[in-house]
Amino acid sequence: MNKKRILTGDRPTGKLHIGHYFGSLQTRVKMQENEEYDPYILIADVQALTDNFNNPEKVRKNVRELAMDYLSVGIDPTKTTIYIQSMVPETAELTVFYSNLVTIARLERNPTVKTEIAQKRELFGESVTYGFLGYPVSQAADITAFEGALVPVGEDQLPLIEQCREIVRKFNSIYGEVLIEPEAVLSNAKRIKGLDGNEKMGKSLGNAIYLADSEEEVNKKVMSAVTDPNRIKKDDLGNPDVCMVAYYHKLFSSEEACTNACEECRAGKRGCVACKRELANNINEFLKPIREKRKYYEENPEVVDKILKEGTEKARITAKETMKKVKKAMMLDYFE
Number of residues that bind ligand TRP (CB under 6 A): 13
Please list every residue from 140 through 169 that binds ligand TRP, using CB under 6 A: 142-143, 151, 157
Q: Does 11 bind ligand TRP (CB under 6 A)?
A: yes
Q: Taking the complex as a whole, how short is the minimal distance between the CB of residue 225 and ligand TRP, in angstroms?
A: 27
With a CB cutoff of 8 Å and minimum separation 6, the contacts of 102 are 136, 137, 163, 166, 167, 170
Q: How far is CA 93 from the centre of its chain?
A: 24
- Rounded distance, CA 211 to CA 287, Å? 7
- Identify which of residues 86 and 139 has a Cβ nearer to ligand TRP in the complex: 139
Q: Which residues pair with 186 in a beta bridge?
A: 153
Q: Which residue is nearest to ligand TRP (CB)?
A: 44
How big is the chain, counted in residues?
336
> Of residues 10, 38, 45, 228, which one binds ligand TRP by CB under 6 A?
10
Specify the residue, 80 or 139, whose C-beta has the smaller distance to ligand TRP: 139
Q: Contacts with ligand TRP in 29-48 (CB under 6 A)?
A: 42, 44, 47
Give residues with Cβ within 8 angstroms of 29, minimum separation 6: 73, 74, 75
Q: How far lies 200's CA from each of 19, 23, 126, 208, 336, in Å?
A: 8, 11, 28, 9, 52
Q: How far apart are CA 248 and CA 328, in angstroms?
A: 54
From edge to edge, which strands make up the β-sheet containing 81-84?
81-84, 37-43, 4-10, 150-153, 183-186
User: Residues 9, 19, 74, 77: which binds ligand TRP (CB under 6 A)?
Assistant: 9
Segment interacting with ligand TRP (CB under 6 A) among 27-35, 71-79, 136-144, 313-321:
136-144
Decide whether 245 or 308 has the Cβ nearer to ligand TRP.
Answer: 308
Burial label for 230, CB within 10 Å (0-12, 13-18, 19+), is exposed
Shortest distance, CB of residue 1 to ligand TRP, whole angstroms? 23
Q: Which stretch binds ligand TRP (CB under 6 A): 2-10, 95-103, 215-223, 261-269?
A: 2-10
Q: CB under 6 A: which stretch of 3-11, 64-72, 101-109, 193-201 binds ligand TRP?
A: 3-11
Taking the complex as a whole, how short is the minimal distance between the CB of residue 236 and ligand TRP, in angstroms? 43
CB of 130 to ligand TRP, least distance (A): 18
Among the listed ranges 8-16, 184-192, 239-247, 282-290, the one in contact with ligand TRP (CB under 6 A) is 8-16
> Closer CB to ligand TRP, residue 218 or residue 319?
319
The whole-angstrom separation of Cα 332 and Cα 325 is 10
Query: What is the DSSP-derived secondary structure letter of residue 331?
Result: T
Interface residues with ligand TRP (CB under 6 A) are 7-11, 42, 44, 47, 139, 142-143, 151, 157
